Amino acid sequence: MFTLTKSFALLATILIHLHTSAAAPTQARQAPRPSSPSGSGSQFANAPGGQRSAGGASTAPTGSSTPQDVTTGTACAVSTATIDTSGTTLPAPSFAPSFIGLGVGTQNYTCGSAGTYTSTGALAELFDVSCLVGQSSFSSLQSTAFAAWNSSTSTAVSSTSGVLSSANVISSPITLGQHYFITNPVTGSGLSPKWDFTSNALAGNADAFVVAAKVDDVAAPTGSADVDWLYLTNLTGTTGTLANEIYRIDTQGGQPPASCTSGTADITVKYTAMYWLTGGSF
């Protein structure tokens, strides 16, 4: 009797052990997975186009935050995007787009002896808007940004990221780089525009800049208060390989008053524009 009872007890122990071992994997498979990061706080939450991974391969658009492409410094591929210069005489691009930046900054002027303002260059931050191409807000982005920037009490270009974020123009701005003017590196005189991504999107890459020369310009179709639309190409003899062509279009603001009193202080005039950079080696 004792032997039979002991056998039943041993059998019961074995069955319990087998049941427990079989159930454990099932519980692991059914455990809830951590939720993916939400894209609601990102400017790229509803990116319409295919996004690129760090290796450049296309991936399906998602509603989650978009990882920045470490190859180009942008969040979404833009090589198939179209630069809209319709209604102007600006030439068609010879290269595919590489970067699309919303420029927010100032046009700078000095008052000449003739009583009119002369340009002394510009200073702007460029923000990545590659994932907004194709969205309904893209066509008016420069206007929305200008309204926020122009109404801001700040005049510091370095504050523009905060201005855009606070006004919900771009919830989490990603800086591509800066646009400013330098002495022409070839002739040693005069000013040349430079787009410099060496500290932001392509940090650490010494060639991630372009110095350009203006090839064509047209008056802004939106009115005389807006600076001209431009077409520029990389300046021969410089080493930067960021782009072959630069378009400044969809401008807002930036024009100085029609006249001034000679000897008065230099002025800055707020502006926004869409900068399209094509070609380059990135």
pTM assigned to the model: 0.76
Report the pLDDT value the prediction gives residue 73, as an integer from 0 to 100: 55
The residues with which 191 forms a beta bridge, in sequence order, are 183
| DSSP annotation string for 147-164 | HHHHH-S---GGGHHHHH
**CA proximity to 275, closest of 48, 89, 102:** 102
Q: Distance between terminal CA atoms of the chain?
A: 85
Report the pLDDT value the prediction gives residue 141, as an integer from 0 to 100: 97
pLDDT, tens digit (0-9, with 9 covering 90-100), for 184-236: 999 999 999 999 999 999 999 999 999 999 999 999 999 999 999 999 999 99
**φ/ψ of residue 159, rounded to 5:** -90, 0
Residues of the chain with pLDDT under 70: 1-74
**CA proximity to 43, closest of 183, 125, 113, 141:** 141
Report the pLDDT value the prediction gives residue 32, as an integer from 0 to 100: 33
| Residue whose tokens read 């008065």 | 264
CA distances from 261 to 110, 112, 116, 264 (A): 10, 8, 8, 6
Q: Is 46 exposed, middle or buried (0-12, 13-18, 19+ CB in 10 A)?
A: middle
